[in-house]
Amino acid sequence: MSTKFFIIFQFFIQIAVLQKPFSLKTDDNGNYFLYVDGNLWLGSAPTFFRDSGQLFSAGDGSLKLFYTGNEVGVDKLGNFSTRDYLYRAGKKEMFVSIRHYDDPNFLVFVQNYTDGGNGTKAESFDEIISGFPGFRIEDGVVDRGYLSFGGYMLGDTNKIIGKWGNKTKEIRDGLTGGPLVIFDKEANTLIISPLTEFMVASNWHDKEVGGNIYWGIMGGVDTVPHHYTYLTIVYYAKGINKAFDGWGKALKKMYGSKENSLAQDLTLHRAGYWTDNGAYYYYKTEPMKTYEETMMNLINKTVNTFNYFQFDSWWYYKGLSGGVKLWEPRPDVFPHGFGYFYNHTYSLLALHNRYWSKDTTYAKQNGGHYDFIVEKSGALPIDQKFWNDLLNKTLTWGLVMYEQDWLNVQFNRITALKTNLTLGEMWLTQMNIAAKANNVVIQYCMANPRHALQSLTLSQVTQARASDDYSPGGEQWRIGVSSLFAHALGIAPSKDTFWTTETQPGNRYKKSEPYTRLNALVATLSTGPFGPSDMSGHMDFDLINKTCIYYGQLMQPTKPATAMDVQFIKEAFESTKIEVWSTYSVNMLNDTALHWGTILAVDTVGDVALEYSDMEFLVPGVSYAVYNYNDPSSIREFKESEKLVLPNNCTKTDFCLYHFVPKMNHGDNEIYLLGDISKWVPASSGRIRSIVYQEADLLINLWGAAAEEITIQYMLNGELKSGTCPIKTTGFNCISMLTGKCVY
């Protein structure tokens, strides 16, 4: 290492502290400090590695630092320079490094088992075998809050939002832990997560209260190959949503975007009928009928609305401990099989699957044809041919979506998954390869954050459940936080099924659903599957049609609605739980993208005033108007000096829904296009396909279905107007914003 280089490095860092909102300081002893706006946010905790059955820590000197240096390099995230530390753990060399890039908003922390490791395992699976980066959890000059994902359903079920500092207790860690988000009242935000090796990376909180938080390889791993490398990213932005967005962009830069897969996923663009937990027909048929008859009856009645049917775990063979033994329809359920069902209904399918039972007949150990790991509490396929054959046979079934449920349980039941560095990734990759070959997409359900992060590398995983199972009248619609995580990963969050009418006679849950409208709205705003599950004859098609047009085509916004920054700040600093989400719809005016914004508020208390700058969907330089969805005549200009004050009585039955409309000009005319207000998302690009500016007119190009009559609301020079256009055959018609007349 050259001393000269080191001096330059220090100089660079000081400049950074002065100029950049996010900066790093390091010293020669292996310590590092992260600053936000010149204030210390995170100071390092001692680096450690395990080897030969021992813990080597820089804290007690057992991990010896013998070289510091710096280098330059390039990776998928760009050019970087580094701060390097070479340590000795007994006889082994361990290399760690901090990369900082031309883009000053993130840092990457590198661990490299230069000499490999043997006897590395920790006391428990939930601990880690290596810790770098590690940060002290303590108070600072600036008050901070945090969000820690944990549990399953994208880390939603056990997530926690609280105050960051000496008294912090609960940070979700170990096998079910997830990304950590730290923010202040101005929404300066850091997100810390693995950047590679998702299936084996964990975080670990070393004390009950306060203490340190570390990232490293999960505790069950006992041998590590030479040069094994693991990366953690720390991403900064001013704005919690902005930080998720930027962090997600960095992840997608590493692993590629899945926009094409999402565009091709029929279940994200068409309504389906669902039969999973919470559904009327979950482990329940019509009296004296088989499932085959029950479902065929239903399909005959709903053929114009539901494009696919989701069949849950009630149709296949189960073995020991409730695992799947054979993934084939049982004769008592579908006496004629799925091929027959498809031939008689042409209905596409989304099929559920779960963890493999120890006695699965696919495993060679049980007389089957395929390589499996079989352990005392379950089994795991390790054979690409298995997955290929499993999904190939679904070609005649009309399968479009394979739902891999119980991901957390599959992971937890198989010790090999918790001790092997490559097996977890191999399992999910083989599934994905077969899905791709057979042209099906995958929904993840009960995904721990590690599965969710791994989905970045898996082209077919387009969606994931974002909250626990639906229960009529329940709380599982609260997906605004986990939707941020899903969207950053480039997948659609699923709120799960819901009922569209309150009362469903004879339902197995003995429950009712008072919040049908909220559930339908949330499913729409999620951009994930829209899947009612009512009893036959108990569907509210008027409600369904606020989202769907003919053949179940969904009228959604452009991105999932996500919790706004104010929701996190209120919860962390004031312990006030409100739901305030936003999203937008993009439509093209010739070559310009215009944004229509949407805000949903539920459970408001006090006067929450949203500033202009809180509405991240508002495009600078464009003027906007806002209206309350219940009353389009409330439309008014929304100036930069204004606030949107949310009433304190937005509830689950009377939620508050606002839409923001960009101003368009044509000659001297000022036009605000509200859109088709019979839909929850009036300006969905599902309806408005383009806006065409002509010298003599401003035309809205509308998509509709045969025999539909589309009514569009707009404000022309301060006057609210409407125009109606019939659609003869499914396709387009145009309406003039100057005359309100149909053009074709």
Ligand X SMILES: *[C@@H]1O[C@H](CO)[C@@H](O)[C@H](O)[C@H]1NC(C)=O
Which of 39, 79, 630, 665 binds ligand X (CB under 6 A)? It is 79
Q: How many residues bind ligand X (CB under 6 A)?
A: 33
Question: 594, 599, 585, 515: which is closest to 554 by C-alpha?
Answer: 585
Would you call 69 exposed, middle or buried from its count of C-beta atoms within 10 A (0-12, 13-18, 19+)? middle
Which of 176, 420, 527, 558 binds ligand X (CB under 6 A)? It is 420
Residues 6+ apart with CB under 8 A from 525: 556, 557, 560, 561, 581, 583, 598, 600, 680, 681
The one segment of 136-144, 280-288, 465-473, 691-699 that binds ligand X by CB under 6 A: 136-144
d(CA 639, CA 647): 19
Q: Is 501 in the site for ligand X (CB under 6 A)?
A: no
Closest residue (Cβ) to ligand X?
Answer: 339
The one segment of 201-209, 355-363, 421-429, 736-744 that binds ligand X by CB under 6 A: 421-429
Q: How far is the CB of 296 from ligand X (least distance, A)?
A: 4
Which contacts (CB < 8 Å, 24+ apart) does range 647-651 have?
Answer: 647/604, 648/604, 648/605, 648/606, 648/607, 648/608, 649/604, 650/601, 650/602, 650/603, 650/604, 651/602, 651/603
Cβ–Cβ under 8 Å, residues 191 and 243: yes
d(CA 168, CA 423): 34
Which of 31, 81, 257, 388 binds ligand X (CB under 6 A)? It is 388
The one segment of 111-119, 125-133, 447-455, 596-604 that binds ligand X by CB under 6 A: 111-119
Q: Is 432 in the site for ligand X (CB under 6 A)?
A: no
Residues 192-221 that bind ligand X (CB under 6 A): 210
Q: What is the Cα gyration radius of the chain?
A: 27
Edge-first strand listing for the sheet containing 39-43: 22-26, 32-36, 39-43
The one segment of 72-80, 322-330, 656-664, 678-686 that binds ligand X by CB under 6 A: 72-80
Q: What are phi and psi of 409, to 5 degrees?
A: -75, -40
The one segment of 292-300, 470-478, 611-619, 677-685 that binds ligand X by CB under 6 A: 292-300
Nearer to ligand X, 112 or 504 (CB): 112
- First-residue to last-residue Cα distance in the chain: 74
Q: How far is the CB of 526 from ligand X (least distance, A)?
A: 31
Which of 31, 223, 365, 384 binds ligand X (CB under 6 A)? It is 223
For residue 677, give the 3-state DSSP assignment: coil
Nearer to ligand X, 155 or 398 (CB): 398
Tokens standing for residue 541: 């098609």
The one segment of 37-45, 296-304, 354-362, 499-507 that binds ligand X by CB under 6 A: 296-304
Which of 169, 207, 227, 577 binds ligand X (CB under 6 A)? It is 227
Cβ–Cβ under 8 Å, residues 52 and 119: yes
Nearer to ligand X, 281 or 485 (CB): 281
Q: Is 459 in the site for ligand X (CB under 6 A)?
A: no
Tokens standing for residue 660: 């923001």
Q: How far is the CB of 131 from ligand X (least distance, A)?
A: 16
Which of 300, 503, 665, 717 binds ligand X (CB under 6 A)? It is 300
* Phi-psi category of residue 78: left, alpha or beta, with phi > 0 → left and psi -120 to 50 → alpha: left
Q: How far is the CB of 428 from ligand X (least distance, A)?
A: 13
Which of 7, 10, 60, 119 binds ligand X (CB under 6 A)? It is 119
Specify the DSSP element, H or E, that contains 5.
Answer: helix 3-19
d(CA 101, CA 232): 14
Cβ–Cβ under 8 Å, residues 312 and 335: no
The one segment of 247-255, 290-298, 477-485, 636-644 that binds ligand X by CB under 6 A: 290-298
For residue 595, give the 3-state DSSP assignment: strand
The one segment of 324-332, 401-409, 420-428, 674-682 that binds ligand X by CB under 6 A: 420-428
- Pattern 312-341, ligand X, x by CB under 6 A: -------------------------x-xx-
**Alpha-carbon dihedral sign for residues 163, 167, 169, 171:** positive
Which of 10, 343, 648, 653 binds ligand X (CB under 6 A)? It is 343
Residue 576, CA atoms < 13 Å, CB-side half-sphere: 16
Cβ–Cβ under 8 Å, residues 688 and 675: yes
DSSP E strand stretches across 405-460 = 441-444
Which of 39, 54, 118, 653 binds ligand X (CB under 6 A)? It is 118
Number of H helices, E strands in the chain: 14, 48
Kindly report the number of other CB atoms within 10 A of residue 682's CB atom. Answer: 24
The one segment of 73-81, 270-278, 450-458, 644-652 that binds ligand X by CB under 6 A: 73-81
Q: How far is the CB of 223 from ligand X (least distance, A)?
A: 5
Nearer to ligand X, 114 or 361 (CB): 114
Q: Is 297 in the site for ligand X (CB under 6 A)?
A: yes
**Which residue matches tokens 């309504």?**
271
Q: How far is the CB of 531 from ligand X (least distance, A)?
A: 21
Q: What are phi and psi of 31, to 5 degrees?
A: -90, 150
Nearer to ligand X, 6 or 340 (CB): 340
Q: Is 438 in the site for ligand X (CB under 6 A)?
A: yes
Q: Is 573 in the site for ligand X (CB under 6 A)?
A: no
Q: How far is the CB of 674 from ligand X (least distance, A)?
A: 40
Q: Is 32 in the site for ligand X (CB under 6 A)?
A: no
Residues 639-668 that bind ligand X (CB under 6 A): none
d(CA 505, CA 491): 36
Nearer to ligand X, 335 or 740 (CB): 335
Nearer to ligand X, 37 or 138 (CB): 138
- Residues lying near ligand X in the complex (CB under 6 A) are found at 74, 78-79, 95, 112, 114, 118-119, 136, 138-139, 166, 210, 223, 227, 229, 293, 296-297, 300, 337, 339-340, 343, 382, 388, 392, 420, 422-423, 426, 437-438
